[in-house]
Amino acid sequence: MQSNIFKIDYKTKTLKRARISSNLVNHNFLIKLSENQILNKIGNFSSKVDILVELGSNSNIGETFSKNNNCFFLLVDNSINFLKQNSSSDNNIVVNENNLPFKQKSISGIISCLYLDSIFNSDNLFSNIYNVLKK
């Protein structure tokens, strides 16, 4: 059986993100492009966003959106280094994205910019996201 080269375990992903965080400024052109596309999509949500969670702290999408739309914004990442270097928000938590610490049906929106590419168990993550999102 061939292993999936895209699957990275949690510990490896955390170490990888810690290493990348120090050199992020050299790669932020792609992040800026993705941020603009995601902000346009969020702006077209059919219902009001009152609580927005961003998975991964390598962008400013959530902070930008929350300032313009008066919603509570929470930034989560598995790397404390990313949170320290890339966020001016006081609402940050370090979590394993496969164990989201939110009540069911409590979050209006979950966004991510270039973070989900190395999720080890995407089925589990998307199941958790579905459970915490409001209808």
Name which residue leads in pLDDT, 3 or 29.
29
pLDDT digits (tens, 9 = 90+) for 104-120: 999 998 888 777 766 77
Q: What are the chain's domains?
A: 10-132 (3.40.50.150)
* Region 78-92 average pLDDT: 76
Q: Distance between CA 28 and CA 26 in Å, rounded?
A: 6
Whole-number Cα distances in Å, 121 to 10, 67, 98, 125: 9, 32, 7, 6
Instruction: State residue 80's pLDDT score.
Output: 81
Query: Under 8 Å CB-to-CB from 46, ≥6 apart: which residues?
Result: none
In the structure encoding, which two tokens stand for residue 56, read together? Answer: 């991964």
Q: How far apart are CA 83 and CA 92, in angstroms?
A: 7
Residue 96 near residue 119 (C-beta atoms within 8 A): no
Contact 69, 50 (CB under 8 A): no
132: nearest Cα among 42, 17, 31, 55: 55
pLDDT bucket at 130, cuts 50 / 70 / 90: very high
